[in-house]
Homo-oligomer: A and B are copies of this chain.
Amino acid sequence: MSFTIEKSIEILERTPEVLEAMMKNISPEWTENNEGGETWNVFDVVGHLVHGEKTDWIPRVEIILSGTPDKTFKPFDRFVQFEESEGKTLPQLLDEFKKLRKKNIGVLRSKNLTDKHLEEKGVHPAFGEVTLAQLLATWTVHDLDHIAQISRVMAKQYKEEVGPWIKYLRILNL
């Protein structure tokens, strides 16, 4: 399937609603337990998504479209949500994510991006040149990746409870 802005926005604008459907008013055991060790729980994942809306996706779009000679992105901090989410509740994070996402889709639409813009480049600190289209495709897939992760983290809370069915449930073996 080839990239388009509209197909990407179709996913991006659904994510806040998907997250709400998955976890609004759910028992805290589903969202406060992780997969063991240093893994993230659902609350951590939502905090990570909030942080991305603030510092990752749209700021990188701006760098690519800017006239500055150095188009290197700032590295994205994958652990800062542990501080930033402190003292917040899951409903607060979901609400914050929803508002930020809505605003960011508005910013994206307001740029009226053409095919020419989509080929413009920035520099990723780890692997070099990337296009605007690749950045926007990644933003989209990143949402889906974390929706799958949330499903997995929740599913693993019942890892023992399914008994011998464990071998039929791929998600418990990832």
Contact = CB atoms under 8 A, between A and B. Distances in A.
Contacts of A54: none
A22 B14 contact: yes
A135 to B, nearest CB: 8
A10 B171 CA distance: 19
Given A1-B33, A2-B161, A10 B22 contact: no
Contacts of A168: 138
Task: Using C-beta atoms within 8 Å of the partner chain, give the interface range for chain A.
Answer: 35 or more
Interface stretch (A45-53, A89-97, A109-117, A141-149): A141-149
Contact of A147 (B3, B141, B147, B163): B147
B14 A30 contact: no
Nearest to A170: B145
A57 to B, nearest CB: 12
A45 to B, nearest CB: 13
B133 A161 contact: yes
Contacts of A10: 26-27, 30
Contact of A151 (B20, B151, B164): B151
Contacts of A17: 21
Interface of A: 1-3, 6-7, 10-11, 14, 17-18, 20-22, 26-27, 29-30, 33, 124, 127-128, 130-131, 133-134, 137-138, 140-142, 144-145, 147-149, 151-152, 154-155, 157-158, 161-165, 168-172, 174
